[in-house]
Amino acid sequence: MTISTGLHSGLDRRVRFGDVSYDFYVRHGDAAWSDLRTRLDALDADRFVVVADSGLPDSLVAATELALSTVAPTLVVQAHADETAKTLSVLDQLAEQALKSGITRRSVVVALGGGVIGNIAGLLAALLFRGVRLVHMPTTLLGMSDSVLSLKQAVNSRCGKNHLGTFHTPTLVWNNLDFLQTLPADEIRSALCEMIKNVLGIVPDRYDEVAGLLRSDARYSPEVITRFIDLCVDAKTSVMHDDHTEKNGALVLEYGHTTGHAAELLTGGRLRHGFAIGIGMLAAARMSRELGLLDHSDERAHRRLLELNGAPLRLPDGIGTDAVLEVIRLDNKRGYVPGRAGTLDFILLEGLGRAHRSAGKLITQVDEDTVRLGIDSVLSDRYALAGV
């Protein structure tokens, strides 16, 4: 349900995955902070522990602390929003600060940042006293449109991405579009790559609509951004309605993530998540075409939306096929189906909006030669990492 008043405009949704649900709000404008305080007051929390991205503007963190402290005592702890900070040691440090502040089972952990901070704070909330309440306040479009629409909370192991985690449902998600005003254009473009994934893999009927709205300069009105977020809510809830742990039909949400996560890890997170996923989708589309699952027009449809979005289409310099393969061999989707020598597990499409199934599973075991071909198709010695 979209709402609009003289004071603010935005979106009210009840996100529901099976038997779990939570409130999801999009706001902007002068009345947004008052709206937040009203909703937090209803939680009857004895304390808020805010896990904030250390790179956020001081004014934003201060405004958040002020708003929350009028409701309950508030502690702000900070973490770096990069993949190297998604570790158990960082989580332990944050837990110690939270516990020393007096956090109880009635307290609420608040995630203030993008997807990395959401994951760290989400796992912290899941582990403290075996689970305290979690509120997401994403500060990036990727957080608003993608990561908070998942119950997965995880940190990295020394071997790879998101190996250590669990599922934890937020109590509510409060998105303030004003937070996006200081983001660089590439942050917007990166986030919209995940929306493009939803269009290609889940809601291809929205393809022309999205193609008509995308701008390579990444300049969008709050109304268009709200429309994009609403599309992502629709897409993700449609596949997670009966699969909130994302182990069956919702695995389509991992489209592009196998190669994408490898590229993200190999660049130490310098390649933005969405850009990595977009490139991963191009690699997957080439694999699918080689296997006879997609035709040329489907592969071109991938490229067209990414081009309209102004996203990179090639991996950065310095990343080779062998390095990508080495990381993929430790991908966290291993084990959904029994391993088979000489193959790697991927999510592939057999048409726009149709995930390929093999023996009833969304995991396709792709021979390594075809995987190499897919990775090679997105390699370039002309795309410099400095330009990402």
CA distances from 248 to 111, 293, 331 (A): 28, 20, 17
Chain-centre distance for alpha carbon 336: 21
Let me know: does 263 contact 324? Beta carbons within 8 Å. yes
Residues 173-204: b if buried by 16+ CB within 10 A, e if exposed: bbbbbbbbeebeebbbbbbbbbbbbbbbbbbb
Choosing from 152, 290, 350, 361, which is the catalytic residue?
152
Residue 209 annotated as catalytic: no
Residues 259-268: b if buried by 16+ CB within 10 A, e if exposed: bbbbbbbbbe
Among 305, 309, 286, which residue's Cα sits nearest to residue 369?
Answer: 286
Choosing from 65, 187, 254, 264, which is the catalytic residue?
254
Other Cβ atoms closer than 10 A to 300: 12
- The structure tokens listed for 351 are 């048409």
Residue 386 makes CB contacts below 8 A (sequence gap 6+) with: none
Q: Which residue has the tokens 């080689």?
A: 290
Let me know: does 118 contact 169? Beta carbons within 8 Å. no
Residue 254 annotated as catalytic: yes
CA angle 8, 115, 299 (to 5 degrees): 100
**Beta-bridge partner residues of 17:** 20
**Beta-bridge partner residues of 154:** 165
Helix (H, G, I), strand (E, B) or coil at 366: strand
Q: Is the dihedral of CA 326, 273, 303, 201 positive or negative?
A: positive
- In whole angstroms, what is the distance from residue 97 CA to residue 106 CA? 17
- In whole angstroms, what is the distance from residue 136 CA to residue 331 CA? 27
Helix (H, G, I), strand (E, B) or coil at 267: coil
- The structure tokens listed for 331 are 């991908």
Q: Is the dihedral of CA 77, 83, 86, 87 positive or negative?
A: negative
- The catalytic residues are 152, 254
